[in-house]
A and B are shown apart, each in its own frame.
Chain A
Amino acid sequence: MAFAGRRDAPEPPDFGILKRLARDQLVYLLEQLPGKKDLFIEADLMSPLDRIANVSILKQHDVDKLYKVETRPAPGASDQFCFLVRPRVRTMRFIADIVNADKMSGRSRKYKIIFSPQKFYACEMVLEEEGVFGDVTCDEWSFYLLPLDEDIISMELPEFFRDYFLMSHELWRDLEEESEGEGQGRKPEIGHVFLMDRDVDYVTALCSQVVYEGLVDDTFRIKCGSVDFGPDVTSSDKSIKVLLNAQDKVFSQIRNEHFSSVFGFLSQKSRNLQAQYDRRRGMDIKQMKDFVSQELKGLKQEHRLLSLHIGACESIMKKKTKQDFQETIKAEHSLLEGFDIRESTSFIEEHIDRQVSPIESLRLMCLLSITENGLIPKDYRSLKTQYLQSYGPEHLLTFHNLKRIGLLTEQAAGETLTAVESKVSKLVTDRAAGKITDAFNSLARKSNFRAISKKLGLIPRVEGEYDLKMPRDMAYVFGGAYVPLSCKIIEQVLERRGWQGLEEVVRLLNGNEFSVSDSTVEDNPAWESQRVILTVFLGGCTFSEIAALRFLGKERGCKFIFLTTAITNSARMMEAMIEARA
């Protein structure tokens, strides 16, 4: 897909300012409680907080001890408590318990709750009920956006996926409102905006990732842009926490590559490195001095990075070999293409029977369901029964969640209901109809994957072998087997400068909720910003999608910026659906 007149992608806007703003506001809030204080931090907020502040900043503003929320304060704690929390009922009760315990023992303290990113009325209600309203002061830390990298901004709200798509709960404030009134009369820094609901494309998020960054996320879990490499990677007895972003000169060159291309790159790199070190043989004193003062540091850092990523590759290989990765990928590709469905079904069945992994089994079942528009009732029953037997009967609840959200459904007998059902769903306000729609719920969420895939050509037909080292399209992120649907839609809309000609696809995507807003700014090629494209993923986006769009951006000379409620992958999505033991 070579485009004529290839242009260089423009530089993205600098999002570092978001970090600075968040830090300044936090400092301001901490200063609202002058003097020494202990700080309680909600577990989910720790990693984001680590990205923008550190211990010495907190210390500079009189923070004495740090606790995790849910940990009882030590005796002899400070006279002032500050709580940095998400707005949750349970956390409010934890705080209320501390305050009430102090009251009972006649201890007087000052308490401040800082809600991030905003305070909820329901939280204040709990404080009131618990009788501590007025004893605590509340503030908001509007820390909505965390830049994870030069082109990724995350809201770090993983629960958004479950709350919004499973519970239909609109807890978080509209994005649109947030941006209202900004940028009036200024040259826009962004040319296009895409808003993508995760439920438009579950398939992509369910696939095993095979680009390096995706594999690292699937294998080690990247958290807030950093990863803990354990002893098996570092070949020492300690774990190392590594920030993975564009600053890492080795990582930035391999992050978007298919895993198979990574080896070659790393070995080339290490040969070069060796050659550079070897140069010092035969140097005279002066040259040696220059070498040490100018180059050695850089070489050493590169050496460090190289050995880490080589270690990570080895560890990934070992783990994936053990997990029958080849076979899993093969089954996945058959599902995507719609071949050998029976064979894939037995593969999944065996996976469940052998208790390989509850998350993986579930993921494969969902992939089967969504590519096939639901399981046939016989398979649904038998797979569900076997799943409950292998992984525990309480997963009955998990299956209900998955059905509700449309990830794992049962085909209804007779597909002719669709017309009736679409009529009925318009009558939701009618009491009787409300119940009927409920019953049709799973039907209404038909994925139509097969038809969409055909329409958009998501399965590339390649003569011979797909060259993963010189990819021709975005399919390389899935080993040449599948172009991610979410990314393909974006590509098509950009190419057509709108939705013209995509009406059928929109219909298949159950597109009644599609809104198209025309850009008021005329295309002006002189503006670099026209080629900066913001893609917003509601419910999470995967590293594979990011890699695919980065690839597209390079081909087209444009720059994609990613804004997501959280970085996700198949395991995180499945875990969000599982009803765990409390």
Chain B
Amino acid sequence: MNRARADEEEYWHSSKFRAFTFDDEDDELSQLKESKRAVNSLRDIVDDDDDDLERVSWSGEPVGSISWSIKETASGSTSSLEGRDSSLQKGSSSYAALPKQVSSYSLSSLFKGRNKLPSFQSLSDALTDTGVKNYAPELRRPKAEYKDYSSDWSPKDTVRRMQRGKVCSLERFRSLQDKLVLLDEAVAGHDGNVITAVLIFLKRTLRREILFRELEVRQVALCHLIHFLRETGEQKLLLDLLRFLDRTEEVALSQYREHLNIQDVEKRREFLKGCIGLPFSAEDTSHIQDHYTLLERQIIIEANDRHLEMAGQSELFRKYPRKASILNMPLVTTLFYSCFYHYTEAEGTFSSPTNLKKTFKIPDKQYVLTALAARAKLRAWDDVDALLTTKNWLGYTKKKAPIGFHRVVEMLQRNNAPVQVLQEYVRLVEDVETRLNLATKYKCHDVVIETYRDLKDRIQLTAYKCKVERGSAEEEKINSILNNMQIRWKN
């Protein structure tokens, strides 16, 4: 039984959750493996004419993907499609994945960084006849039909026409009342496109205070204007609007959001400093303060460590070169970094873990967890031991972990801890079944043997004899336990 298979089997046997384990006796994963073997064994019969197969293709569609071609254009090859297509005809089905789109989820998040105020020209110009749909034959009527700016469409008819994508002049809605009736009609039509079009017109033809005042009692229209301003990046107007509405928290958040667009760290730090005074809730103010302090620290640490690394004096940096800069990383990542590179530093330095812990009031549990991960990564087992050891008031030491010991074991094992180290913590896993599983998996023989002894399970203990080496101390131990007449075996 190979190692991987044993692991997986154990996984299923050890899992307590029934719905995901299987009723019948035969192990489904081995079934899966078996299927795989069966299928693979057929490969030699099958693989002879792959190409033919690929054209039969599960995709059921002719190969010649557009995404694939674009990837090619993007990667610099500017050859035209002619050549490409012929290669596709051969039936290559290895599509390259498209690069991941940056936040394709939100329309609004796509529109950052432009603060240019638009010059408002006449909307009617914008809505001339080029806007007419011209693909459907029945729409191809004389243009005169669409040129109806002068005719007196009622607000309702105007909205209805706009909903159908037709061109309508809004210029004739000049009195405030007319404008508002038009807006209300647009809102009643539930078409965001038309509502926005009317809002663009109102924004251009009304003083902002008046526009704001009227929108305050028209929530739907207001939402659309806010969305529109976000999209077009008119941040200043947006903030004015939010301030007018007394939505102070949104003002603060909206301003704070801008830091995401600032690439230069010094500028970003300055900007964050300015954010501290914004009207956030008390809770959020402290988060913003922490954000600022964190970046300030990171800038200092980064400058020092880059210097250290370049100088090549520090063995730690030579042995484990930094993979990325610490700038703009979360606090926990920063703490990990500091536990990794600056563990022994005195509390006075900005980069010391204890200083970070104090400054940001990091809870004990979080601190120990992060330090454990960092020290285990360095395979500094003594530090690991120290982190997990506590003294009680009588001076006795005791092992204590902020998370279950099974997690500690996992973490150590991932970092290739030797059996002697692992064993100590496997022994502390409370749940017997989990302990046995982990001990067996990681070959902590002593723990397995002792656990079976405590369970008075002679059968399992006897069976375990074949898992240990012949003539080893472990085998001897098993034998001596089995021969111990004092133990009352349960089986």
**Chain A residues engaging chain B, CB cutoff 8 angstroms:** 25, 28-29, 32, 41, 43-44, 46-47, 49-50, 53-56, 58-59, 63-68, 71, 74, 76, 88-90, 93, 118-122, 124-129, 133-134, 137-141, 158-159, 161-163, 167-174, 177, 210, 226, 228, 238-243, 247-248, 259-260, 263-264, 266-267, 269-271, 273-274, 277, 297, 300-301, 303-307, 310-311, 313-314, 317, 321, 325-326, 329-330, 350, 353-355, 381, 385-386, 388-394, 396-397, 400, 428-429, 431, 434-435, 438, 465-468, 479-481, 572, 575-576, 579-582
Contact = CB atoms under 8 A, between A and B. Distances in A.
A68 B74 contact: yes
Interface stretch (B13-21, B172-180, B458-466, B478-486): B13-21
A90 B38 CA distance: 53
A239 B97 CA distance: 9
Contacts of B69: 55, 66
Given A41-B70, A55-B85, A277-B45, A121 B197 contact: yes
A540 to B, nearest CB: 11
Contacts of B332: 353, 355, 389-390
Contacts, number: 362
Contacts of B259: 394
Contacts of B38: 270-271, 273-274
B260 A579 contact: yes
The 3 closest A-B pairs by CB, nearest first: A121-B197, A393-B291, A479-B19
8 contacts: A41-B66, A46-B67, A90-B111, A121-B200, A242-B58, A263-B31, A274-B42, A307-B36
Nearest to A236: B94
Contacts of A481: 19
A252 B447 CA distance: 48
A400 B60 CA distance: 45
B85 A65 contact: no
Nearest to A278: B42
Interface in B100-125: 101-114, 118-119, 121, 123, 125
A162 B127 CA distance: 29
Main secondary structure, interface of A, reads helix
Interface in B51-95: 53, 56, 58-67, 69-70, 73-74, 78, 80-82, 84-85, 88, 93-95
A50 B17 contact: no
B114 A93 contact: yes
B134 interface: yes
B253 A397 contact: yes
A313 B69 CA distance: 30
Given A122-B197, A431-B217, A270 B130 contact: no
A65 B330 contact: no
A491 B471 CA distance: 67
Given A58-B66, A158-B104, A428-B219, 11 more contacts: A49-B66, A54-B66, A56-B62, A67-B70, A138-B131, A170-B224, A330-B17, A396-B287, A397-B257, A400-B253, A582-B260
B135 A29 contact: yes
B25 interface: no
Most chain A CB atoms below 10 A, which of B106, B163, B165, B363: B106
Contacts of B121: 128-129
A88 B107 contact: yes
A275 to B, nearest CB: 10
B256 A397 contact: yes
Contact of B94 (A134, A138, A239, A393): A239
A174 B191 CA distance: 7
A124 B194 CA distance: 13
B67 A65 contact: no
B222 to A, nearest CB: 9
A140 B32 contact: no
A170 B195 contact: yes
Given A124-B131, A266-B32, A76 B19 contact: no
A54 B58 contact: no
Contact of B95 (A65, A127, A239): A239
Contact of A44 (B104, B220, B246, B330): B104
B232 interface: yes
B432 interface: no
Contacts of A158: 104-105
Q: Residue among A25, A66, A68, A581 with the most chain B CB within 10 A? A: A66
B362 interface: yes
A386 B74 contact: no
Contacts of A576: 105-106
B84 to A, nearest CB: 7
B457 interface: no
Contact of B284 (A28, A266, A396, A468): A396
Interface of B: 8, 11, 15-23, 28-29, 31-32, 34-36, 38-42, 45-46, 53, 56, 58-67, 69-70, 73-74, 78, 80-82, 84-85, 88, 93-98, 101-114, 118-119, 121, 123, 125-127, 130-131, 133-135, 162-163, 165, 190-197, 200, 216-217, 219-220, 223-224, 226-228, 231-233, 246-247, 253, 256-257, 259-261, 283-284, 287-288, 290-291, 294, 328-333, 360, 362-363, 365-366, 369, 403
B36 A89 contact: no
B257 A307 contact: no
B294 A393 contact: yes
Contact of B17 (A64, A172, A326): A326
**Dominant secondary structure at the B interface:** helix
B489 to A, nearest CB: 32
B219 A434 contact: yes
Contact of A386 (B82, B126, B191, B366): B366
Contact of A171 (B56, B64, B192): B192
Nearest to B280: A396
Nearest to B194: A121
A17 B362 CA distance: 60
Nearest to B290: A393
Contacts of B224: 169-170
B228 A122 contact: yes
Contacts of B294: 393
A271 B170 CA distance: 72
A310 B111 contact: no
B258 to A, nearest CB: 10
Given A50-B67, A55-B69, A170-B190, A479 B74 contact: no
Contacts of B130: 134, 137-138
B200 A50 contact: no
A88 B80 contact: no
A270 B78 contact: no
Given A140-B135, A393-B287, A353 B62 contact: no
Nearest to A320: B20
Most A Cβ at <10 Å: residue of B20, B191, B253:
B20
Given A93-B114, A582-B261, A124 B107 contact: no
A46 B70 CA distance: 9
Contacts of A354: 369, 403
A118 B193 contact: yes
Contacts of B231: 88-90, 122
A169 B227 contact: yes
A158 B105 CA distance: 6
A313 B219 CA distance: 49
Nearest to A93: B114
A9 B60 CA distance: 25
